[in-house]
Amino acid sequence: MARNEAIPGTRLLQALRAFAMTRISAVIAMTSIFAVIAMTSIFAVIASP
């Protein structure tokens, strides 16, 4: 019985882990895009006479 109960739990854990990974990667992508935009705007302000 315990072994049968462990299967859905691990499946849920795997789904949760995959969801967290996709969320983390999306956050990292958004952060990097925002950082690139911020750096570009800062560089444009510095480079403009």
Each residue's pLDDT tens digit in the chain (49 positions)?
455 555 667 888 888 889 898 999 999 999 999 999 999 999 999 988 7
Q: Is residue 48 part of a domain?
A: yes
Question: Does pTM surpass 0.75?
Answer: no
State which residues form the domain around 45.
Answer: 23-49
**Letter string b/e over residues 1-39, b meaning 16 or more CB atoms within 10 A of that residue's CB:** eeeeeeeeeeeeeeeeeeeeeeeeeeeeeeeeeeeeeee
How many distinct structural domains can be found in the chain? 1
> So what's the pLDDT on residue 36?
96
Q: Is residue 9 part of a domain?
A: no
Q: Is residue 28 part of a domain?
A: yes
